[in-house]
Structure 1
Amino acid sequence: GMEDGPAALRLCREVVPALPRNTGAMVAVSLSAPPAPFVPDQFHLLPGYALLVAGFGSEEEHSNAIAPIREGLPTLFEFVTPLPYIGLQSMLDESEPWGAYAYEKALDLVDFSDDVIDVLTEQAGKKSSPMSFMPIFPLQGAFTSVGEDDTAFGGSRTPHYVCNMTATATDAGTLELDRSWVRETWEALCPFSSNQGGYVNFMTDVDENRVRASYGAAKYARLSAVKAKYDPDNVFHLNANILPA
């Protein structure tokens, strides 16, 4: 529940970094419980905190991985099941239906520090649409075995979180309210961010400074040189754009 936010995020701070290498996770802040069969009726559409864990090993390995989560904090409900990969990829599709109004921003966080937890829990209850929430993605495990200069992916290759704030609504008025919520949350988290550019796929307001921040100065310069060679006229510009050198 919403009142359990500080305890839930402190638990995530402990258990997420300890997850096995073949396990992925997402921390969901102010996620409204879906009206699904595994959710008790009294919790339908109520916002709260969720930890989604995807294990790619055996059933026993998955049980061992989630045991500290079960032991750490009582949950309102849980759902554990085998799931095909395409099911995993599409499990949140209904939260972003075709034709919905949407807006998002993101930044990187080194950890769920006490300051970060204070901001997240304070902002969590201020959204207007049940479709809006904050999906936070831990980047760790195999992600950290790749050198920072080995790919075009921005940000550090040390363990950290990509914190996405997404506003989604079925009408423009509610979207306007939650756009402000996203921007206020992003501004409040900026002092604790290791990369305010975040992940370019979570960038609705695209401006050159944030694109440069996302990649970092050195990597942006390398990509800009590649762009100058293969697309000197910047034909491909309807994106988080890298300008030709």
Structure 2
Amino acid sequence: MTLDDDAISRLREHFAGELLRPADAGFTRARAELLWNGQIARQPALVARPTTNEDVAAAIGFARERGMRLGVRGGGHGVAGAAVPEGGLTIDLSRMASVRVDPEARRAYVGGGAAWAAVDAATADHGLAVVGGTVSHTGVAGLTLTGGMGWLSPLQGLSCDNLLAATLVTADGRTVTASEEHEPDLFWGLRGAGTNFGVVTELVFALHPVSPVANLGMVFWRAEDAAGPLAFAREYVFRLPPHASALVAGLSAPPEPFVPAEVQGAPGVAVMVVTWGSPEDHAGLVEPLLGRGSAFELVTPIPYTALQQMLDGTAPWGIQAYDKGLNLDDLSDEAIRVLLDRLPRRRSPLSFAPLFPLRGRFSEIPDDATAFGSPRAPHWAMSMVGLAADEETFAAERAWARDLYDALRPLAPDGGTYLNFDVGAGQERVRASYGEEKYRRLAALKALWDPDDVFRSGISITPAPAPAAVPAPRGEASAEVPASSG
């Protein structure tokens, strides 16, 4: 869409932030900062960088008046590139990224454009933390509004479980703060499907005491040696006490000093165990994994902020990326066989397949407490991520991820997924992930807060249709009367 100077001038009258069109100096850099995934080639007609909620409302109104597709950039890490609608308007919240911590109240006030690295750094100074992602440059809002799992999930649940309030600008330009006390239905929907109801400009989190130093145990087996250890680990990680966290990942051994040179780059499986207590307690928890034919083992203290950044190298900014996800009730022998068979088929050492064992506090929260779109029963949330620096290799890695997904899909019969793990999930998968009861409730909320489906660039809920009108009897004045549901 081409925007004339008069239209932009009128917008500037109500916009204190920055507005950039493709011909403007700084647009190319601004567009690059919108997108983590280098595979996305779309370009917006206008980038709006607000500094206030009033700016956000002005940008939403401008887009609606012109029928422009709207995207929202929070932290910028989205695989699908939903922040950048072709020829549309991107609201870039990078100027609204402040993080403020109240250590006495154990609260964090986080701007909608912040990334988790800023939250981790600000809270660790006070011996506090809230569960975030496992890559530190992931956006706080995008992750939280669709769930948010990380190292602290067994202790704290999801990021959305620790959300106390959220301020958003709605489709009609209102600024609303939702919490358990104010707009509780909207607050329920924000915790799992929050990108559907407005532009979230601030999130308030409950913080919890967490040692600034964690304990990490990492054990790696080559793919050809991993079947037995992985069969043991699938039971072992669910027996860990709730103060311990774990992650299993199919990946290439990293080029790090603690990895023997002859093992670096080898495809295999890593099991990682993290605690925040004494090193002696941690050593006892890791010990059952040791001495099982591993290629390398690492047991070490690690600052919590470094733990949060440990996997950043698996997701470098600008990499070409593709992601698929599914939920597994059990890591069966067949699932292990499929994973180990396909790991060596990758062409890029960056491609990997993490498996998150969701347990502990995650499973103690009732399924209907939030709109989170996966079951609360203990299970594995698995992601298949194809990553490459060039087009040819990326095409092969995308095919690899799809093949692994297709081979595992029959082992996940409910059809659902953790929606942050699935690029461009269609309506069928979205409905399957939320389940019919939650989806109907979300569709009704969508019809109330965004009936025109303005916010549809991400994981989209279709607004529930308006009630049908009953025609008036002949000879009487016509009236709009909602049809009876009975």
Is TM-score (shorter-chain normalized) higher than 0.5? yes
1:86 positional shift: 2.1
Any stretches of 5+ residues in structure 1 without a counterpart?
none
Shift of 1:80: 1.9
Amino acid at match of 1:63: A
Please show how residues 142-157 of structure 1 align to structure 2 within 5 Å. 142-157=361-376
| Contact 1:106 1:203 (8 Å CA) reproduced | yes
Q: Distance in 2 between matches of 1:59 and 1:222?
A: 46
> In the alignment, does 2:458 pair up with 1:239?
yes
Contact 2:225–2:293, Cα closer than 8 Å, also in 1? no
1:8 aligns with 2:232: no
Match of 1:21 in 2: 242
For 1:131-170, list aligned pairs within 5 A. Answer: 131-170=350-389
Residue type at the aligned position of 1:107: L
Q: Among the aligned pairs, what percent are the same residue?
A: 45
In structure 1, the partner of 2:207 is none
Contact 1:203 1:240 in 2 (8 A): no
Q: Is the 8 A contact 1:8 1:49 kept in 2?
A: no
Question: 1:139·1:162 contact (CA, 8 Å) conserved in 2?
Answer: yes
What SS class does the counterpart of residue 27 from structure 1 fall into? strand
Instruction: Report the 3-state secondary structure (helix = DSSP H, G, I; strand = E; otherwise coil) of the residue aligned with 1:16.
Output: helix
Could you say what secondary structure the match of 1:80 adopts? Answer: strand
Preserved CA contact (<8 Å) 1:33 1:44: yes
Counterpart residue number, 1:218 = 437
- The worse-fitting range, judged by mean Cα deviation, of 104-113 and 226-235 is 226-235
- What is the match of residue 412 of structure 2? 193
What CA distance in whole angstroms lies between the structure 2 residues aligned with 1:13 and 1:168? 26
Aligned counterparts of 1:15 and 1:64: Cα–Cα separation in 2:
13
Counterpart amino acid of residue 394 in structure 2: L
Moved more, 224-233 or 162-171: 224-233
Q: Cα gap change, 1:195/1:84 in structure 2, threshold over 3 Å: closer, same or farther?
A: farther
Deviates more, 1:86-95 or 1:137-146: 86-95
Which stretch of the first structure deviates more once superposed, 38-47 or 79-88? 79-88
Select the residue among 278, 283, 307 that pairs with 1:63: 283
1:105-157 alpha-carbon deviations (Å, 9 max, x no partner):
01000111112112112222211111001101000111110111111112221
Alignment deviations for residues 187-217 of structure 1 (CA, whole Å, 9 cap, x no partner):
1111111543311111113211111111111
Counterpart of 1:106 in structure 2 is: 325
8 Å CA contact retained: 2:268, 2:340:
no
SS of the equivalent of 1:63 reads helix
1:130 aligns with 349
- Look up the SS of the partner of 2:330 in the other structure: coil
Kindly indicate which of the two structures has a greater share of residues assigned to helix: 1
What's 1:178 paired with?
397
Partner-residue secondary structure (3-state), 1:82? strand
8 Å Cα contact 1:110/1:194 also seen in 2: no
Give the superposition deviation at 1:242: 1.2
CA contact (8 A) 1:25 1:54 kept: yes
1:2 Cα offset (Å): 1.4
**What is the one-letter code of the residue matched to 2:287?**
A
Per chain length, whose mean CA-contact separation is higher, i.e. which structure has more relative contact order (CA < 8 Å, sep 6+)? 1
How well do the aligned residues superpose, as a CA RMSD in angstroms? 1.4
Seen in structure 2, the aligned counterparts of structure 1 residues 50 and 237 have a Cα distance that, compared at 3 Å, is same
Distance 1:53 1:236 in 2: 39
Q: Structure 1 length as normaliser, TM-score?
A: 0.94
Q: Distance in 2 between matches of 1:205 and 1:9?
A: 31
Contact conserved, 1:107 with 1:195, CA < 8 A, in 2? no
Aligned to 1:96: 315
Q: Secondary structure in 2 aligned to 1:65? A: helix
| Structure ID, larger Rg | 2
For 1:154 and 1:56, the matched residues in 2 are separated by 29
Instruction: Give the number of equivalent residue pairs.
Output: 243
Alpha-carbon separation, structure 1, partners of 2:433 and 2:306? 30
> Per the alignment, do residues 3 and 110 of structure 1 end up closer, same or farther by CA in structure 2, a change over 3 Å counting?
same
Tell whether 2:256 aligns with 1:36.
yes
